[in-house]
Each structure stands twice: as C-alpha cells, then as structure tokens.
Amino acid sequence: MSVAVVIPTTGRPSLAGLLEVLAGAEVVVVDDRTGSEPPLAVPAGARVLRGQARGPAAARNAGWRVCAAEWIAFLDDDVVPGTGWLAALRADLEGCGPAVGGSQGRVIVPLPDGRAPTDWERGTRGLETARWATADLAYRRAALEAVGGFDERFPRAYREDADLGLRMDAAGWTIAFGRRSVTHPVRPAPAWVSLAKQAGNADDVLMRALHGPGWRARAGVPAGRRPRHLAVAGAAALAGAALAARRSRTAAAAGAAWLAGTAELTWARVAPGPRTRAEVTTMAWTSALLPFAATAWWLWGLATVRGRLAQPGPQGRPEAILFDRDGTLIVDVPYNGDPARVEPVAGAVDAVARVRAAGVRTGLVSNQSAVARGLITEADVEAVNARVAELVGPLDVWTYCPHGPADGCDCRKPAPGLVLRAARQLGVAPGRCVVIGDVGSDVEAAHAAGARAILVPTERTLREEVQAAPEVARDLGEAVDRALAGEPVP
C-alpha cells in the first residue's frame, strides 16, 4: 500500500515543523501563495508544486493529481502530528475495506488553561467535531478519481470539504474514522476575523444548489444564525427607510428590533468567553456589523450562483447535452405535425443558448410514434423540427424514432438507440452526454446508453417516474445549469 501526503500552504511558519515529522514520506507541498514571495524552504525529499492561488480546493487537486500513490493524505499546514502519526496513518488505512473511500483522523484543538476560550478559539475548536475536515483526512485515489476530486468552485475553506464528503457518500464510498490524531493550535487572528468568515454564506448558497436543502443535516453542519442575521439586518434597513420617510413610530419600532437583535448576538458571543474588556469590545462592534456582512454575502451568493453553476464542476462539463423535444424544449402538443403550433417552453431559448455559449454540443432525441400510427409523416416531423430550430436555436444533431411501441426497434426510448446514435454522430462517448427529458423513458434511455439523465417533470410526468429518477430539476434552465456544472445532484 502506497501513501502520499499533500499539504496546501500559504507559507505559514508552522509548515517547517510539520515537514520534519513527515521526513521519509512522499510529500507534495502545494505553494498557493500569489507568486511574488520567495521560494519555500522545504527539506530534501519533499516536492514543491506551485499552485494558482485559487484556494484550498484547487491546491489539493493540483497536489493529488501528480501523485501515483494508492492513498492521498491531506493535511493543513498548521497542524502538528505526533511522532508516530505516519505509522498510525498506515495502520488506519490497512484496516480500510474496499468500500472505504476515506479515513478521517482526529483533530485536537488545545485551549488555554485557567480561562474560558474566546469566540475565535471556540470557533476553531469546531474542527474537533467537524465531519470530513481535511485538516487530517486520507482519501483513496480511486475514490477521488471517481468523483473528480475537490470542487474548485469553492474558493474558501470548509465547504469544499463537506461538498466532497457528500459526493463521496452519494457515489457509494464510506469515510471511516481512524485512530490517529493531529493537534491544531489556535492561530492568531485579527479582531475582524468573524466578519471575514461571513464570506462563507455565499458558498452555502452554492451548497444548497448542488446538494439540495437538506445538505447541512447530511454533512453534519450546524444550522447557523442566518435567519436571525437576515431579520436584524432587515430591521435596520426598515428603520433607516422609515426614518427617511419621517415615519417615526415605525423607525423607532424597527430600530428597537435591530438593537435587541444586536444585543442578543453580542451576549451570545460574550457569555461563554473570558469577558475581558478587549473581548467584550471586539464582540460588541463586530456583532453590530456581523448581520450585515452575513446578509450581504448571502445575497451575493444568490446573485452569482447561476454563474458558479455554469462553471465546470469537479467532473468537468459534458461534451454533449441531448434534449427530448415535446414537453422538454417545446410545449407538448400530442402527435403534432403543424409547425404553427410549436411553442418553446419557458426558458428554452436562454437554456439552449447557454449550452452553445459554453462550447458544449447539442442534440435532439425524440420519440415520434405518430409516424407509425399514420397520424403524421416524417416530412411533418422535419418541418416541426425546423420550426423548433427557428424558435429555440440550432442544435448540432436531430434524431427521432418514427416507430410505434409494438415495432420492437432499438431506437424508441426507453431503448438506448437514439442516445447512442446522437452520440455517434457528434463523435462523443455516450458517457460524456447528458440527456434532459420530461418522462421516465428519457431517463431509462440515457442510463441504458451509459449517459447521465436529468428529469424535468411536467403535468404528464408520473409520480413514480419522478421518484425513480436519480436527478430531478425544477425547470429546463436548472437542468442545463446542473448539466454544465458537470456533476450529478440528487
């Protein structure tokens, strides 16, 4: 069993002591500084890889992808392993069965004796109970390859850990707890650190978009105080607006609500701490600003989430997106052969345009049994398709099945023939395609061909089809965003 250790770093002084403990191991240090600093001084045998200063997710990906070891152990550059950590790591990994994709070590955060911890110290201590924290977490290389590694759309720490853990779990890998441990000292931080940490609210919006509303419970992430922050910031905004409108009673009531909310937050942070003058002062002024910082970052996350979803995910964008026609791209008119009755579904024009703008190939895969039933001709199908192209935009490939349910063809969905034919004409592997449709046969055809499927239910979609689909989007726009993001979302 081979093991490599990957350490992203911003050049903290603690790195030197960490590397001394790891002497003799295969170590890759990813220098994620901006590039203007002098080269890192590392012991002989440790490899230094220049990162792109795009955050820990990108740095870890750069590190593990240059390693050929069976297991990749990730450490933060400010942890302190004991002298027997390497041996304990190997013992933990040797006990992992084939279904185990990761092994998490124990993180110990020492707190000062003789006084209560500060707000920052309590926050750091959360690492002791954090699920899937890569302060000390080893992943099987095969598991990382299976899910595409860390999602580089997360530029900050913490949520990229939870995102990877959720994707590992969804892919069928388990993450076991090992017996090894590291110490994570509380590093010095400026007084405004709690305000800076509110940037994570933008990442929470992305987490919800990728993993659904229940992601916190599944990842073991506490609910947080965002609803209260929104209420307090809203009260302050209302007080200001009412004051400007000379509505003194409303301004007074909203101002009192803001003051009460700020006082409650301040006390919640002061009460468990040492209550020194410096700590109380810091908690008071940061608590006054914190709801506004949290709300601003959350709103920024909402405003930018579509753009972030359109960026490549950890498994990369698909090479082609194949659309069902009736009910997916255009409003379903049963057995329609009249171009004049073609009407795009809401958002179809924009969705297809986004796919083309992303450089992803497009195609149509449509059952047209009305031809076999004698209700329309293939010329009618072609005419309707031409009208679809006029209204929705051009597609690279147009395929359809003219057969009926009893014809026994291999192209009528849920058979995979249409998907395979479209992929072949596009020159891409079926596994690099995403099929978007509105009924269960679209999903079944995609899976039979080895493609990914996203179901966009309509009024004619059966409840059992929705329940059986591994991935469901609310509308065509969301389905395209998920497809372009490059990773399945339950």
> Residues with catalytic annotation?
324, 326
29 HSE (CA, 13 A, CB side) = 26
Burial of 230 (0-12, 13-18, 19+ CB in 10 A): middle
How far does the chain reach from its first CA to its final CA, in angstroms?
33
Phi and psi, residue 263, nearest 5°: -65, -40
Indicate the residue type of 284. Answer: A
DSSP structural state of residue 237: H
Strand extents, DSSP E, 232-278 = none
DSSP per-residue codes, 203-236 = HHHHHHHHH-TTHHHHHT----SHHHHHHHHHHH
**If you search the block for the tokens 């030197």, which residue do you land on?**
16
Contact call for residues 223 and 289 (beta carbons, < 8 A): no
SS3 of residue 240 by DSSP: helix
136-140 and 100-108: which strand pairing? Answer: antiparallel
Burial of 249 (0-12, 13-18, 19+ CB in 10 A): exposed
Instruction: Provide Rg for the chain, Cα atoms.
Output: 27
